[in-house]
Amino acid sequence: MEITSLSAIELRDAIARGEITIKEVVEAHIEQINSTEEKLNALLYINAEGALSLAQEMDKKGPQKDRALWGVPVVIKDVLTTKGIPTTCASRILKNFIPFYDAEAVARVKEAGGILMAKSNMDEFAMGSSTENSAFKITKNPWDLSRVPGGSSGGSAASVSAHQSPLSLGSDTGGSIRQPASFCGVIGLKPTYGRVSRFGLIAYGSSLDQVGPIARSVKDIALLLGVIAGWDEKDSTSSPVEVEDYVSLLETPFNLREIKIGIPSEYWEEGGLDEDVEAVCGGFLEELKREGAQLIPLSLPHTAYAVATYYIIVMAEASSNLARYDGVRYGIRAKGAKDLMEMYVETRSRGFGPEVQRRIILGTYVLSAGYYDAYYRKAAQVRRIIQEDFIEAFKQCDVICAPVSPVIPFKIGEKIDDPLTMYLTDIFTTPLNLAGLPGISLPIGLGKKVRVPVGIQFIAPPFKEGLLLQVAQEVEKEIFKIPPPPVVSG
């Protein structure tokens, strides 16, 4: 079997048994990157030399049984700081930025023996749902090179889907792990807010952002989540709640029929989904029923307000978070400015792309005097109501099942000129970020009209990632095994 088709756990175990060396693993993945990157554009920086020399060092040391990711390649979304390795957030303003510290999630991956292979492409500053907003390149969907991989973690999802790496770390503020995972036919998990440290996660919407794993198997998601989750002193929003042993939990018997699966009517409305999404996701619910699952119809009454609520809050937070890009301490600085004001204005105007500028301006507007109460405060109130909808719903069920996106991966260029249309596709993902809930997206079929993956989403109460993983594993076992994308299988 191809080394690059193996899962992270299979790779780690094969290395531990001495069947392959880490050098061979890294070389195989570098080769896969080289043979697919020209078509995909998933990566912004490839750490070939660093990865190979680390591999050699590690091979000399020999397998370390207590390191969960020993010898496993990992691709890191370029929104996470990596010491000594360029970190750009796919923005011109940070095109020359080399951090002097690792993000906590990155540090934990390295500590566990993971090998940093590359930094992946994304929408600039995580603002987008297609990876078309990158200042540097447009990543293609491995299933159809004329279509988007989703966003903002499009590079990560495409990379894992195309077997460039078994694992990736992405970030999710309004769906940015779950939607690209669904679009590329891989698995993505957004943890509960506070489950994973945001130290070194370059901030977009601080009350919404989370780092999370992307992989091709549920066991691998559990593995990576277990490595990065847990309290961090350096992030005051990180939670002291104990981390479950996700990998062990997946070894225990679990019966999907014993839990209640909530089906929110507002997420499954007639005519609300693309033909292929309707067919695959609807078919999935039928399959669940046939398997004897308990499907509980319920309501999340304020679903229609989630997108507006989300965008007001995230743009407000973004306008504040991006105020630090001023040409003073890091990043580019516009040359020839005659005074401080000109330096700020020129640096930012030339450094930020149009979507970023749009969101900064909107965010500044909704926070400005006279509008703060009507927009930002109002949105925060609706946010609480949306959170309460979920609290009510979870009294009737254990997990909630929903589509990930109302649309299949769209064509590159199709939605980019109409920002509002793009925002509206975030309807099923943004509510979780607003309420701080964990969610997993996994592929459950291929479209008939267009042969691209379609994913399903499960949502759980706070800190119930273990339950999500158990449900996902059952689905993975019983319902659908996704083949590799054309760019891999040829």
Partner 1 sequence: MKISKDKVMDIARLARLRLSPESVETFSFQLSQILEYMEKLSEVDTSEVEPLYSPITHPTPYRDDEVRQHYEREEVLKNAPEEDGEHFIVPRVVN
Question: Would strands 73-77 and 167-172 be described as parallel, antiparallel, or unpaired?
Answer: parallel
Q: For partner 1, what does the binding mask look like between residues 420 and 459, x meaning CB under 8 A? A: x--x----------xxx-----------------------
Q: Which residues contact 456 (CB under 8 A, 6 or more apart)?
A: 281, 284, 401, 402, 403, 404, 441, 442, 444, 475
State which of residues 20, 52, 279, 345 lies at the interface with partner 1 (CB under 8 A). 345
Residues 284-303 that bind partner 1 (CB under 8 A): 302
Give whichever of 284 and 352 is closer to partner 1, judged by the CB atom.
352
Helix (H, G, I), strand (E, B) or coil at 58: helix
Count of alpha carbons within 13 Å of 9, Cβ hemisphere only?
Answer: 13
> Does 364 help bind partner 1 (rule: CB under 8 A)?
yes
> Does 387 help bind partner 1 (rule: CB under 8 A)?
yes
Q: Nearest distance from residue 33's CB to partner 1, in Å?
A: 27
Q: Please report where in the chains the tokens 């580019």 appear, as a residue.
A: 332
Q: Nearest distance from residue 293's CB to partner 1, in Å?
A: 29
Which tokens go with 38?
Answer: 């020209």
Tell me which stretch binds partner 1 (CB under 8 A): 140-148, 174-182, 356-364, 468-476: 356-364
Q: Which of 7, 129, 134, 152 is catalytic?
A: 152
Q: Which of 176, 217, 238, 441 is catalytic?
A: 176
Give whichever of 351 and 403 is closer to partner 1, judged by the CB atom.
351
* Helix, strand, coil % in the chain, rounded to nearest 5: 45, 15, 45
Residue pair 325/343 in contact by the 8 Å Cβ criterion: no
35 is a catalytic site residue: no
Count of alpha carbons within 13 Å of 391, Cβ hemisphere only?
Answer: 9
> Does 137 help bind partner 1 (rule: CB under 8 A)?
no
Which tokens go with 48?
Answer: 């070939």
Helix (H, G, I), strand (E, B) or coil at 371: coil
Strands (E), 47-142: 73-77, 115-120
Residues 158-197 that bind partner 1 (CB under 8 A): 193-194
176 is a catalytic site residue: yes
405 is a catalytic site residue: no
466, containing H or E segment: helix 465-478
Q: For partner 1, what does the binding mask look like between residues 306 and 335, x meaning CB under 8 A? A: -xxx-xx------x---x--xxxxxxxx--
Tell me which stretch binds partner 1 (CB under 8 A): 71-79, 145-153, 159-167, 338-346: 338-346
d(CA 232, CA 379): 29
Give whichever of 220 and 355 is closer to partner 1, judged by the CB atom.
355
Q: For partner 1, what does the binding mask look like between residues 29 and 68, x meaning CB under 8 A? A: ----------------------------------------
What DSSP designation does 439 have?
E
Residues forming the active site:
77, 152, 176
